[in-house]
Every structure is written in C-alpha cells, then in structure tokens.
Amino acid sequence: MNILVTGGAGFIGSNLVHFLLERAENETGVSLGKVVNVDLLTYAGNRSSLRDLESGDRHVFVQADILDEDKMLELLREHSIDSIMHLAAESHVDRSIDGPEAFIQTNFVGSFRLLQAARTYWSELDEEKKETFRFLHVSTDEVYGTLHENDPAFSETTPYAPNSPYSASKAGSDFLVRAYHHTYGMPVVTTNCSNNYGPFQFPEKLIPLMIQKIIRGEKLPVYGDGSNIRDWLYVEDHARGLFCALTKGRLGETYNIGGKCEMKNIDVVHTLLNTLKEKGYDHATPDLITYVKDRPGHDWRYAIDCSKIETELGWQPVETFETGMAKTVQWYLDNTEWIEEIESGEYRGERLGQA
C-alpha cells in the first residue's frame, strides 16, 4: 500500500508518518510501500520532525499546497497511491479568531481541491484498485461544539455546532467529504479526534507551551479560571486509530477517536508542575500560574465517546494520561534543540519576526 499523507510535517502528521514507517506493519500485518508526505511547510510544518526518516527510500517528502489540484493529481499518479490520509489543516483556535481566512482556504477549499484530485485519480483506476482505494479525512471533536458538565460525550451522531472559525472550517470539510461519498461514491472514511498531545507538538499549544514556561520559570497563562475540560489523547494512540480506520473502517462512516481522559486545563497544568518538580525543577510551583482573560467563544467541555471504533474495529488507547504525559515531558526535555529551532525561526530558514 502506497499512502499519501497531507500535513505530514505537522504535529499529528509527523507522528503518523513515523508510525506508518516504523511500526504499522509489525503491529497490523498490513504490507506498506512508501509514504508520500505532502506539506506546504507553513509555520507549524517542521521538516526537522522527520529528520530521522530522510535517509530512507520509503519516505518521499514533497513541499506542495493541497490547494494545487493539478499537483495533487500529479503526485497521486506518479506514486501509484492506494490511500490518502488527509491531515493538512490550520488548527489553532486563537489564530482562527485573529485571521479566519487562512482557515477557510486551507481547511475547506483545500479539502475540496484534494477531493477533486482524488476523485479524478480514483475514476482512472482499474476495478480492483478502485475497490481498495481509500480517502481518510481527519477532523476534530470541535465540530460538535461544547458540552455542559452532565451532557453525554460526543458520539458520531451528535449534531454539528461549531463555535470558532477553525471548527466551522473543519465542519465544512467534513460535510464535503460526506457529500463526495454520497454523490460520487468516493470511498471515504472520516475520523474526529479529541485533543492530542505528545512529541513534535508546536509550542503554542497548551502542554508544550506550559512545559517550556515551567522549565524557564515563567508565568503560566491559563484562560479564565482553568475549568475548561478536554479529552486528552496521546498522539501515537491517535496514529494507530487513524490507520485502523483507514484499513478497517466502513465506507462513508465516521469514527470518533478519544483518549477517554477528561481533564480540566488547570489540572493539566498542575500535573506538569508536579512532573517537572519531580525532575528537579524546584521552582515548578503553583505560584507560576496566572489567570488571563478567556478567549472569545471558548468551548467549555469536550468529551469523546469512542465506543464505535472500539466495538467495530478493535481499537482502543494504549496510553493513560499518566504514562502519556511522562513520555511527553521526557521527550521535550530530551529534544531542546527542536524547540530552540522553532523559537529562533531556524526551522523555516529565518529568524522569527523577519521576512
């Protein structure tokens, strides 16, 4: 199976590419060929996250834009792609509030262009190849909106109610994928995941941001009173779930992938403080926490019911929050150069703040 991964230099994408090339065959028995990794390398795309794969002939990196329909079709044909795993997206809610247009272009229009290329390519395949071709669309639990304390967790039948430009753009792409299945018969599967954490996460996100600030003894900005709740999923568990949905999922279906671990943001911060204090950072105390003005439209609670993928496809998370967090903190402590490259702008061949 030759797989094209979009957004494979981002956080979840780079972890997925590592999983596909290093563990998927042994864990699943599915024979893999090459992984064609397409990424535009915007601010959150980082080729250094793939450095250990560069020497292998099974990883093909292409800097390209999913908005370029002709280029996407060219790559599908050139590499005889059997499946697409579509992760490329703008994903930071704060950035979508400040500048929503990039989110509409990449997440909605970009998904449309990729679907168009995939449909053209799929229509050219012989019947056997057409039967086994798959388009996996990777989305988010944020499309479901927000939950109150006693509400049941999001399921695949929860009505969409996006509350930010980011989640609205992802909801739109989900509907496009659904339409292409029902209108054209495209062999698609969609996944909606909860909050990911783990290695290679861009340091504007909660967990890597707090880790770096704790290490430096800086103030830890927490939105509102820190009571917002998220369901935390270790990124490698997510990668396993994506491959499971790709290879076993029923066509046209949606599968929610969650960590079964609801935590208040403030409790996540306290966990990080305690973990780093145990590692010798004596200044890692609650005194570092500072509460800041809540962001507009801040969803209060997310929770994922992932019983469908567990029951139908046999996937479940391997890591608990405790084991996943221990691995995550240690990875950031062991990979300070990766953080320094991002903060300096070196990973993009530039200094931050310069053209």
Active site residues: 141-142, 166
Q: How far apart are the C-alpha atoms of 199 and 208, rounded to whole Å?
A: 9
Distances (CA, A) of 213 to 31, 95, 266: 42, 20, 15
The amino acid that residue 160 corresponds to is Y
Q: Which two tokens stand for residue 118?
A: 């995939």
Task: List alpha helices for the chain, DSSP H.
Answer: 11-22, 24-28, 69-78, 93-98, 101-103, 110-124, 127-132, 165-184, 206-216, 235-248, 265-278, 307-313, 321-334, 336-344
Q: Which residues lie closer than 8 Å to 59 by C-beta, 6 or more apart? A: 17, 21, 34, 35, 37, 50, 53
Q: How far apart are the C-alpha atoms of 172 and 175, rounded to whole Å?
A: 5
Q: How far apart are the C-alpha atoms of 240 and 30, rounded to whole Å?
A: 13
Distances (CA, A) of 338 to 106, 134, 218, 280, 342: 26, 34, 20, 22, 7
Does residue 215 contact residue 208 with C-beta atoms inside 8 Å?
A: no
Q: How far apart are the C-alpha atoms of 247 and 28, rounded to whole Å?
A: 10
Q: How far apart are the C-alpha atoms of 311 and 91, rounded to whole Å?
A: 29
Distances (CA, A) of 169 to 107, 162, 176, 202: 6, 9, 11, 20
Q: How far apart are the C-alpha atoms of 9 and 50, rounded to whole Å?
A: 7
State whether residue 173 is helix, strand or coil: helix
